Amino acid sequence: MHSRLPSTMPSTTPMPMPAPMPAPAPAMTVNAVDDADRLGATAAFVREQDTSVLLSRVLPGLDGPELRALTDRCSFAHAAVLVFPPDEGTLRAQLSACGLASDVSAQPSVVVRERLAARHHRNPADLDVRILRPTVHGPAGERRAVEVFALTVPPDSGLHGIATDERRLDREAHLAFDVERPDPLVLRGLLAGFARHGAVADGGGYNPHEDGTVFYFGAPADTKTEFPRVELYARGDHREVLAEHLGRPLAEGPARPPRPSGDPEAAEALLRMLTGAWTTQALAACARLRLPEVMHRHTGAGVQELARAVDAHPRSLATLLRYLAMLGVVAEGPDGFRLTGVGALLAAEAPGSMRPLALMYGGPFYQSFAHLTHTVRSGEPAFDHFYGENHFDHFAGDPELAALFDQSMVSSAPIFDPLPAHPVLAAAATAPGAPRTVVDIAGGTGELLGRILTAHPTLRGVLLERPQVLAAARAQLGATGAGERCAYQAGDFADVPPDGDVYVLSRVLHDWDDARCRSILRSCAEAMPRDADLLVVERLLPADGGSSLATAWDLHMMCNTGGRERTADHYARLFEDCGLALVGHTPLALGAHTLHARRA
């Protein structure tokens, strides 16, 4: 065996043979080290992060219920880094040096290739961009990845300018969250939530090599991470939702081949829609059986123990639990079942409990929706057709059902979180002189009025409601400590009290057709002093006819009350017809808005 030794070293001194490595061009040496450091830092970041904490850093404005909902729908999946190896051997060596698997397969990157080509005015065919996803594990053993985009930059390729610019600005670095059980409604809700908290749509695409759709956002200005972009990744082809995210008609998006008849993906998608009723009833059954309360007391309980506690048939309960686990309502571990953040909201005593909504949607409203065809054909509410009377009269004749309905209205309390800070209320609270009065018209048990009075101790309140609701309202407002500053008036919409400073109509107008809305608004306008303000809380239909939570509630209102959701322009016309003028509107949670009106 012969060695090449320096002439100054004795020939008898043994020297280890270095492993053969690709010889990088001199100009790439420092940059290759930079890429290795960036890979190592990204891998360490992915290993350390908790999904909930990371989401709260990405979107600092998230409140508790929204954060829980996002955490249950999304899981932190990877962080991405773009590197520029001269060849594949160098890339594999860098991965190994960072403790990452170097034998992972590489797939072509369609999305990043197109973005780089557009930014640098290159032909996409000239850019060899690939994706590698070596696996790492999170703090609780979660399976995650470092998403490595690798643009091969051979020494003589002329691509060094791209590499220098991209390393400096790091525009492809991003955080990614996988969407659990993606469907169009879930995706649209998640995209709207990110946008509501300041994230800005920043591209995306469908990758046919993986059958996955990515939705990119620019991180909010107040984000608390170093990553400039955020990705939501949904398995499957969601180009219809992607086109909305990109703000263009689907026809302008990537060409989508026609699906052949009998396409199994289309059949599966339709089947998931058709079985939506099963989901509603499974959630309602979970609430009726008081499973969340029992599981809260017995974390990790097995089927037999749970069946005894809720008086259920064990094998049947096991089937229900498996389905609830598929929905993400419970999770199964080695020791039994536990509640997720979603499932916890079905417990009666949980903050923001949605148990009453589950019982309403799985009970009287479920029955009425079976007659939706009647509504579409006749224009009459299915509820009236099935029960023989409108839902307000029906609930009034059943005190338990009426109480459940009032409780279900409280379940949407996250809508109200930002409302007490509305400028109209803030101005009223700081106005000089006598205390200003807020009149809540048909305000239920006083959930909203209590929040307003608690936030503004200088304000007084008047609650106008049906006599049978006022007892519960007194208890509700008394518990907030604001009851002493509130008066209670029994009556209906014809009895709006005069001399208030701010009038509130929260989720009232959508119960009624336009004629009834005009009657309600005229009563308000006649009672309001000249300088009073009216705040209307409703979901707004998108002006462009796009999908939203309001679109779903529009169907619900049509079927159950004969009412409807409306666009902002529609409300403006109703206000104008009644001597009022729309001043503006501001967004709230869950697709709602506050519309501000004054006397014209």
DSSP string covering 144-190: EEEEEEEE---TTSS-HHHHHHHHHH-TT-EEEEEESS--HHHHHHH
Using 50, 70 and 90 to split pLDDT, how confident is the model at 265?
Answer: low
Residue with the two structure tokens 């990758």? 207
pLDDT digits (tens, 9 = 90+) for 95-129: 988 889 888 888 888 778 888 888 888 887 788 89
- Please say if the pLDDT value at position 18 is more than 80: no
209 catalytic? Reply is no
CA distance 214 to 237: 10
The share of the chain scoring above pLDDT 70, in percent, equals: 90
DSSP 547: -
* Ramachandran sector of residue 476 (left: φ over 0; alpha: ψ -120 to 50; beta: rest): alpha
CA distance 84 to 550: 46
User: Quick check: 78 and 134 in contact, CB under 8 A?
Assistant: no
Using 50, 70 and 90 to split pLDDT, how confident is the model at 33?
Answer: low
Q: Which residue would you say has higher pLDDT here, 407 or 324?
A: 324
194, burial (CB in 10 Å: exposed 0-12, middle 13-18, buried 19+): buried
Quote the crossing angle between the two packed helices 184-196 and 239-246, to the nearest 10°.
20
pLDDT digits (tens, 9 = 90+) for 169-216: 888 899 999 998 888 878 888 888 898 888 998 888 887 767 789 998
Q: What number is the average pLDDT over the span 514-522?
A: 96
Q: What is the pLDDT of residue 550?
A: 86
Q: What is the pLDDT of residue 10?
A: 30
CA distance 249 to 340: 37
- Please say if the pLDDT value at position 88 is more than 60: yes
Q: What is the pLDDT of residue 403?
A: 81
Q: What is the pLDDT of residue 258?
A: 47
Any idea which fold 26-249 has? 2,3-Dihydroxybiphenyl 1,2-Dioxygenase; domain 1 (3.10.180)
pLDDT digits (tens, 9 = 90+) for 218-237: 988 888 988 889 999 998 88
CA distance 520 to 325: 45
- Please say if the pLDDT value at position 34 is more than 90: no
Q: What number of other Cβ atoms are within 10 A of residue 61's Cβ?
A: 12
Q: What number is the average pLDDT over the span 390-405?
A: 85
202 in helix, strand or coil? strand
Q: What is the pLDDT of residue 118?
A: 85
231 in helix, strand or coil? strand
Average pLDDT over all residues of the chain: 85
Using 50, 70 and 90 to split pLDDT, how confident is the model at 312?
Answer: very high
Both tokens assigned to 141: 């053993």
CATH 3.40.50.150 residue spans of the chain: 410-599
Any idea how long the chain is?
600
Which contacts of 13-22 are long-range, i.e. CB under 8 A and separated by 24 or more positions? 21/89, 21/90, 21/93, 22/86, 22/87, 22/89, 22/90
410-599 maps to CATH 3.40.50.150: yes
User: Quick check: 441 and 496 in contact, CB under 8 A?
Assistant: yes
pLDDT digits (tens, 9 = 90+) for 398-449: 888 888 887 787 766 667 778 899 999 999 999 998 899 999 999 988 989 9
DSSP 235: E
Q: What number of other Cβ atoms are within 10 A of residue 366's Cβ?
A: 15
User: Quick check: 588 and 422 in contact, CB under 8 A?
Assistant: no
DSSP 590: T
For residue 119, the surrounding DSSP H or E stretch is helix 110-120
- Please say if the pLDDT value at position 259 is more than 60: no
For residue 230, the cross-strand partners are: 175, 217
Could you tell me which residues come within 8 angstroms of residue 539 by beta carbon, excluding any fewer than 6 positions away? 510, 548, 549, 550, 553, 565, 590, 591, 592, 593
- Please say if the pLDDT value at position 3 is more than 70: no
CA distance 4 to 11: 9
What string of H, E and C letters represents the secondary structure of 361-416?
HCCHHHHHHCCHHHHHHHCCCHHHHHHCCCHHHHHHCCHHHHHHHHHHHHCCHHHH
Window from 138-142, 251-255, 385-389, 556-560 with minimum mean pLDDT: 251-255
Q: What is the pLDDT of residue 6?
A: 29
CATH 3.10.180 residue spans of the chain: 26-249
pLDDT digits (tens, 9 = 90+) for 453-469: 999 999 999 999 988 88
Q: What number of other Cβ atoms are within 10 A of residue 405's Cβ?
A: 22
Could you tell me which residues come within 8 angstroms of residue 180 by beta carbon, excluding any fewer than 6 positions away? 72, 73, 74, 75, 328
For residue 360, the surrounding DSSP H or E stretch is helix 355-361
Output the CA torsion sign for 395, 396, 401, 406: positive
pLDDT digits (tens, 9 = 90+) for 44-57: 999 999 999 999 99
Q: Which residue would you say has higher pLDDT here, 373 or 274?
A: 373
Q: What is the pLDDT of residue 32?
A: 54
pLDDT digits (tens, 9 = 90+) for 526-557: 999 999 999 999 999 988 776 678 888 899 99
Q: What number of other Cβ atoms are within 10 A of residue 372's Cβ?
A: 15
Whether pTM > 0.75 for this model: the answer is: no
CATH 1.10.10.10 residue spans of the chain: 276-362
CATH architecture of 276-362: Orthogonal Bundle (1.10)
- Please pick, among 510, 556, 585, 596, the residue that the annotation labels catalytic: 510
User: Quick check: 449 and 424 in contact, CB under 8 A?
Assistant: no
Q: What is the pLDDT of residue 412?
A: 67
